[in-house]
């Protein structure tokens, strides 16, 4: 017969002890469940906090980049957005599962694409460095954006990809076709100002049909929101064309800008002066000028822009001579003569060409003395 040694614990709980054990186990399980719930709630709170913190970081980055871009530091703005995008892509697991950062990530991408387009439009070479050094990092962003966008946004990006191709061609790249990008952009959005402006620029750059280029520029300038930006390419293309017709069209665009209250930079105003100075020195008003703008309209342009307040006497006198030539072209010989007499009286002894020009025209315009034939 087996007996339990004295002092040894019983192998089975007594009926009275069993309920107490079960109660303790239940309490342990309940406490564990509560602790697990608390830990889970803490983890969820932390995950939400991480997402909110990341959102705040992204929104702040976009604002910082905007301010940097507004200050002209586009390279710094690009670095800011690039760092923010990397931070967004490295979001926590909760953000990845729920997609909480998708809107913010999209916001960043759009901001980066818009900055890339602006950078391309403002691109200048410095110190002989190639365009491709910057263009090559912008094109993948715009190509990605074009693939994901629709309508005007898609067309904007396609047109700027084409402009990027053009800049790379200036670096002697080969195998790129900007025109195909411009055409596709206008197929997506027929009124796209960038597609029209860049295509018009491309046509004149390659010596294409002048009237076709002008039609593109006219379409590009219609939307008021982007007019100031496309004017840059319109004026540059006409200036680069280096023909009397292109110069006349350039002056017409400047006059449209003047009448429309658009910003005219000191460089543009100086170019107006230089064009009419050349007319005075050469002594002939190109017929292309009069074909593009009536003489009266050109007089308004010259008097409105050419002799700026505080201009040196020689500049003011040359502008007055240009107006005199335009008055003669308009058939007002009396006013033309009066103005040439003023030019001659104000001409410095060192302004030999202007003095000689004034003398010749005055002799031609002055009535012949009685009894003498001219």
Q: Which string of DSSP letters, residue by residue, matches 198-242?
A: HHHHHHHHTT--HHHHHHHHHHHTS-GGGHHHHHHHHHHHHHHH-
Per-residue pLDDT at 7: 52
> Where does residue 285 fall: left (phi above 0), alpha (psi -120 to 50 degrees), or beta otherwise?
beta
Per-residue pLDDT at 24: 74
Contacts of 241 (CB under 8 A, 6+ apart): 204, 210
45-56 burial, b if ≥16 CB within 10 A, otherwise e?
Answer: eebeebbeebbe
pLDDT tens digits in sequence order for the chain, 374 residues long? 555 555 545 555 566 666 776 777 777 776 777 766 666 555 545 544 455 666 666 666 666 766 776 666 677 777 777 777 776 665 544 445 555 446 778 888 899 999 999 999 999 876 778 999 999 999 999 999 999 999 999 999 999 999 999 999 999 999 999 999 999 999 999 999 999 999 999 999 999 999 999 999 999 999 999 999 999 999 999 999 989 999 999 999 999 999 999 999 999 999 999 999 999 999 999 999 999 999 999 999 999 888 766 668 888 899 999 999 999 999 999 999 999 999 999 888 778 888 888 999 999 888 766 655 55
> Where does residue 127 fall: left (phi above 0), alpha (psi -120 to 50 degrees), or beta otherwise?
left
Of 116, 120, 119, 183, residue with least CA distance to 155: 183
Of 276, 289, 288, residue with least CA distance to 320: 276
Tally Cβ neighbours within 10 Å of residue 308.
15
DSSP code of 67?
Answer: H
3-state secondary structure at position 194: helix
Query: How many residues belong to the chain?
Result: 374
Q: Which pTM was predicted?
A: 0.78
Per-residue pLDDT at 124: 83
Per-residue pLDDT at 74: 76
What residue spans define the domains of the chain? Answer: 50-62+72-122, 245-374
CA separation for the pair 52, 195 (Å, rounded): 39
For the chain, count helices (H), then strands (E). 17, 0
């Amino acid at each position: 017969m087996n007996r339990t040694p004295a002092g040894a614990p019983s192998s089975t709980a007594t009926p009275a002890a069993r309920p107490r054990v079960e109660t303790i186990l239940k309490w342990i399980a309940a406490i564990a469940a509560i602790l697990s719930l608390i830990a889970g709630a803490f983890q969820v709170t932390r995950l939400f906090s991480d997402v909110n913190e990341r959102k705040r970081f992204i929104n702040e980055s976009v604002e910082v980049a905007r301010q940097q871009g507004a200050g002209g530091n586009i390279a710094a703005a690009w670095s800011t957005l690039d760092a923010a995008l990397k931070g967004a892509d490295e979001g926590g697991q909760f953000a990845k599962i729920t997609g909480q950062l998708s809107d913010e990530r999209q916001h960043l991408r759009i901001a980066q694409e818009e900055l890339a387009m602006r950078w391309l439009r403002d691109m200048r070479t410095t110190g002989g460095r190639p365009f491709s050094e910057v263009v090559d990092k912008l094109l993948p962003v715009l190509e990605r954006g074009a693939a994901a966008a629709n309508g005007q946004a898609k067309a904007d990006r396609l047109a700027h990809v084409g402009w990027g191709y053009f800049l790379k061609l200036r670096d002697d790249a080969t195998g790129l076709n900007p025109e195909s990008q411009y055409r596709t952009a206008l197929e997506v959005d027929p009124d796209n100002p960038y597609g029209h402006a860049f295509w018009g620029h491309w046509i004149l750059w390659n010596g294409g049909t002048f009237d076709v280029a002008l039609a593109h520029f006219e379409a590009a300038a219609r939307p008021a929101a982007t007019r100031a930006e496309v004017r840059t390419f319109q004026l540059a293309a006409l200036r680069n064309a280096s023909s009397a017709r292109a110069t006349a069209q350039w002056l017409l665009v400047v006059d449209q800008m003047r009448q429309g209250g658009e910003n005219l930079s000191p460089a543009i105003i100086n170019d107006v002066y230089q064009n009419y100075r050349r007319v005075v020195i050469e002594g002939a008003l190109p017929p292309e000028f009069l074909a593009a703008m009536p003489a009266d309209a050109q007089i308004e342009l010259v008097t409105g822009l050419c002799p700026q307040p505080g201009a040196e006497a020689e500049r003011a006198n040359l502008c007055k001579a240009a107006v005199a030539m335009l008055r003669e072209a308009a058939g007002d010989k009396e006013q033309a003569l009066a103005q040439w007499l003023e030019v001659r009286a104000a001409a410095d002894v060192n302004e030999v060409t202007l003095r000689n020009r004034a003398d010749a025209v005055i002799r031609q315009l002055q009535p012949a003395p009685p009894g003498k034939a001219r």
